[in-house]
Structure 1
């Protein structure tokens, strides 16, 4: 796969590029599905202590987004850890999807239990969102600051939304339901099944 590297404060030498190419070969089994691959390197140099490099690896398959981020005091360690983390995510996702389809007879939606309001209490997403988002600045005039995240959504069916939620490792996922032409939310229930939040006019 062709990898785009963006660097902020990290010098990408020919040797590092060769190292990245070698380590990325771990992802060869899924390379044919990847339409876009990006590696972002950010190095922060605190006043005290060693510099810290964050490696964020993002793969787009056309249907899903895979993303892993790791931090270390050495760029090579951060890159290696991010790649390994992504591999673990893919394996975990494949295992969950296969198990879900076996239980649901190839129809993951059969696991969608009836929605009750109390089932949604306490469900939260990882604040480090794995979709492209922009943060609006807090309004200083507000007594309680409200943090707003804006992100693009593309039409997908519920099964695809569940898959994306699992890949991102989130507890819920907001998406544009292609079947209903509405914004819906799928989420994980405490009993291991899935729930669907769908708007209804009142």
Structure 2
């Protein structure tokens, strides 16, 4: 990671700079591409401030901490940045994993969202062969509004649904 350290109202110290560079190198395992870190260390009376800005992998992460000790301020801000990086990477993973799960009615990969259209999410389900009586018992157990199953007699996909009057309806394809 490319690191630049700026000292304000503080004598530049190689020991502090090496400490920061060593601590920032642990973030390389989270970033796929080389990152860039800008560190500003400042002292005002008894307040020691460490401000770190990291740019890399299409993310910009900022953190700032104030304490009475410079080393503790550095440690605290780096812990805060590590949490932010992990959270950002997890968001990317979650978005990528959801792409494959959602499918549209038209056969695309994801929800359809255009002006004037509705959003359609398709859920893939497993269905097993059973007769209509068994499907009714299954619906009573789960209390769903519909059930998709393969009719054991016709080997075709059927949909059993609960009507508003409490009875059941069956949708089946023509033979």
TM-score by length of 1: 0.45
| Runs of 5+ unmatched residues, structure 2 | 103-109, 116-175
2:168 corresponds to which residue?
Answer: none
1:2 corresponds to which residue?
Answer: 2
1:94 corresponds to which residue?
Answer: 89
Alpha-carbon separation, structure 1, partners of 2:97 and 2:64: 31
Confirm or deny that 1:75 pairs with 2:78: no
Report the CA distance between 1:10 and its aligned residue.
Answer: 2.2
Confirm or deny that 1:11 pairs with 2:6: no
Aligned-residue CA RMSD (Å): 3.0
SS at match of 1:16: helix
| Cα separation, partners in 2 of 1:106 and 1:13, compared to 1, 3 Å | farther
Q: Is the 8 A contact 1:104 1:111 kept in 2?
A: no
Alpha-carbon separation, structure 2, partners of 1:86 and 1:28: 13
Alpha-carbon separation, structure 1, partners of 2:112 and 2:70: 42
Q: Which has the larger radius of gyration?
A: 2
| Cα separation, partners in 2 of 1:103 and 1:76, compared to 1, 3 Å | same
Report the CA distance between 1:30 and its aligned residue.
Answer: 4.0
Q: How does 1:31-180 map to 2 (within 5 A)?
A: 33-45=33-45, 51-61=46-56, 63-105=58-100
| Cα separation, partners in 2 of 1:102 and 1:9, compared to 1, 3 Å | same
Residues 124-162 of structure 1 show CA distances to partners (whole Å, capped at 9, x for unaligned) of: xxxxxxxxxxxxxxxxxxxxxxxxxxxxxxxxxxxxxxx
2:28 corresponds to which residue?
Answer: 28
Report the CA distance between 1:58 and its aligned residue.
Answer: 0.8
Q: Is the 8 A contact 1:7 1:40 kept in 2?
A: yes
Structure 1 runs (4+) deviating above 6 angstroms are: none
Aligned residue-pair number: 108
Alpha-carbon separation, structure 1, partners of 2:112 and 2:71: 42
Flag the structure with more relative contact order, 1 or 2, with Cα contacts below 8 A and sequence separation at least 6: 1
SS at match of 2:24: helix
| Runs of 5+ unmatched residues, structure 1 | 46-50, 115-202
Q: Is the 8 A contact 2:31 2:56 kept in 1?
A: no
